[in-house]
Homo-oligomer: A and B are copies of this chain.
Amino acid sequence: MRTMALETPDTGDEVKPIHEVDCVVKSNDRVNDEYRLLVLDAPLKILDCEPGQFFHLLCPISGNLQPYLRRPMSIYGYYPDKGELHFLYKVTGEGTAAMATMKMGDTFNVLGPLGKGFDILPNWKNLLLVARGVGLATLAPLALEARRLNRNLTAICSARSKSVLMSLDYFRDLGVNVIALTDEDATSSVENMRRIIEALIADEGVDAMYTCGSNRILKLLQDVGKSHKIPGQIALEQQMACGFGMCQCCVRAFHREGIIVNERVCTEGPVFDLQEAIGC
A58 to chain B, nearest CB (A): 11
What CA separation (Å) do A206 and B63 show in the bound complex?
A: 49
What CA separation (Å) do A60 and B62 show in the bound complex?
A: 8
Q: Across the interface, which residues of B come within 8 angstroms of A60, CB to CB?
A: 63
Across the interface, do A63 and B63 meet the contact criterion of CB distance under 8 Å? no
A189 in the interface, Cβ–Cβ < 8 Å?
A: no
Q: Across the interface, which residues of B come within 8 angstroms of A238, CB to CB?
A: none
What CA separation (Å) do A60 and B66 show in the bound complex?
A: 12
Copies in the complex: 2
| Chain B, residue nearest A65 (CB) | B61
What CA separation (Å) do A64 and B58 show in the bound complex?
A: 12
What CA separation (Å) do A66 and B66 show in the bound complex?
A: 9
Q: Across the interface, which residues of B come within 8 angstroms of A61, CB to CB?
A: 61-64, 66
Question: Please, what's the 1-or-0 string for A31-70, where 1 marks a CB less than 8 Å from any CB in chain B?
Answer: 0000000000000000000000000000011111010000
What CA separation (Å) do A66 and B62 show in the bound complex?
A: 9
What CA separation (Å) do A133 and B64 show in the bound complex?
A: 34
What CA separation (Å) do A63 and B59 show in the bound complex?
A: 10
Q: Across the interface, which residues of B come within 8 angstroms of A63, CB to CB?
A: 60-62
| Chain B, residue nearest A61 (CB) | B63
| Chain B, residue nearest A60 (CB) | B63
Residues 259-274 (chain A) with a chain B CB within 8 angstroms: none
What CA separation (Å) do A63 and B65 show in the bound complex?
A: 10
Which of A60, A61, A66 has the most chain B CB atoms closer than 10 A to its own CB? A61
What CA separation (Å) do A80 and B66 show in the bound complex?
A: 36
What CA separation (Å) do A62 and B64 show in the bound complex?
A: 9
Question: Please, what's the 1-or-0 string for A58-100, where 1 marks a CB less than 8 Å from any CB in chain B?
Answer: 0011111010000000000000000000000000000000000
Q: Across the interface, which residues of B come within 8 angstroms of A66, CB to CB?
A: 61, 66
A256 to chain B, nearest CB (A): 44
A residues whose Cβ falls under 8 Å from a Cβ of B: 60-64, 66
A-B contact pairs, 9 of them (CB 8 A): A60-B63, A61-B61, A61-B62, A61-B63, A61-B64, A61-B66, A62-B62, A62-B63, A66-B66
Given A62-B62, A62-B63, 6 further pairs, Cβ under 8 A:
A60-B63, A61-B61, A61-B63, A61-B64, A61-B66, A66-B66
Closest 9 CB pairs of A and B: A62-B62, A61-B63, A61-B61, A61-B62, A61-B66, A60-B63, A66-B66, A62-B63, A61-B64
